[in-house]
Amino acid sequence: MIRRAVPTEWEVLRTRCELCRACELGKTRTSMVFGVGKTDSPILFVGEGPGQQEDLQGEPFVGAAGKLLDEMLSIIDLGRDNCYIANVVKCRPPGNRDPREEEQAACVGYLYEQIRLIHPKLIICLGRIAAGVLIRKDFRITREHGQWTQKNGVWYTAIYHPSALLRDLNRRPETFLDLLAIRDKVREICPEVYGLMQS
Ligand code: URA
């Protein structure tokens, strides 16, 4: 008798995303970009959607913005091995335009499923699109970046998207402070990430 392994919830979700053609983006993509990192991490970063390099390589944040994101993470002693990184939409919007409302609506259920499975304590939105989806529809990134809000026991904040920081160096000092505040929040809420024990 051939025994087939029962797929995990993660495998089922990934396959559903692979097969998804709920919006136009599914028809033009090269790769579906699911997410990367530690699937039971208390820390989740959410960007908006894959760019050209991500579409080619099938992994989030591997282009120029991704290189900067890795540097931002390393400032606060985080990396792809101790947090999870996902996007609001899993397929590349052509020409790197913003994902449209209907594309976000078609895809966000997969992100909610990822959040349910990861069960993070902190969610850091990268840019206004993720903040608009996960924190508040009318979130203003210029005014509200770095602020914390708690919903259903999960802490949320938003920082400037790394692509915005590549375009506008003036935003980097504020983002540095936001990163330090994220590090403090990690120490407070999930110190085990830094190898610190809760007292
Ligand atoms: N920008 C995003 O928002 N996500 C990626 O994966 C890459 C660039």
Is residue 54 within 6 Å of ligand 1 at its C-beta?
A: yes
Is residue 55 within 6 Å of ligand 1 at its C-beta?
A: no
pLDDT in tens, the chain (199 residues): 778 888 899 999 999 999 999 999 999 999 999 999 999 999 999 999 999 999 999 999 999 999 999 999 999 999 999 999 999 999 999 998 999 999 999 999 999 999 999 999 999 999 999 999 999 999 999 999 999 999 999 999 999 999 999 999 999 999 999 999 999 999 999 999 999 875 5
What pLDDT does 96 receive?
Answer: 86
For 9-187, CATH gives 3.40.470.10
Contact of 47 with 73, CB cutoff 8 Å: no
Question: Which numbered atom of ligand 1 lies nearest the CA of 53?
Answer: 7
Q: Is the pTM of this model over 0.75?
A: yes
Classify residue 153 as exposed, middle or buried by CB count within 10 Å of its CB (0-12, 13-18, 19+): exposed
What pLDDT does 183 receive?
Answer: 98
The domains of the chain are located at: 9-187
Question: Which numbered atom of ligand 1 lies nearest the CA of 48?
Answer: 3
Pocket residue to mutate for ligand 1, from 25, 31, 34, 54, most atoms within 8 A of Cβ: 54
Distance CA 87, CA 34 (A): 8
What pLDDT does 74 receive?
Answer: 97
Distance CA 160, CA 192 (A): 26
What pLDDT does 199 receive?
Answer: 55
Q: Is the dihedral of CA 29, 8, 190, 122 positive or negative?
A: positive
What pLDDT does 100 receive?
Answer: 98
Strands 154-159 and 149-151: antiparallel
Is residue 49 within 6 Å of ligand 1 at its C-beta?
A: yes
Question: Which numbered atom of ligand 1 lies nearest the CA of 47?
Answer: 3
Pocket residue to mutate for ligand 1, from 44, 48, 104, most atoms within 8 A of Cβ: 48
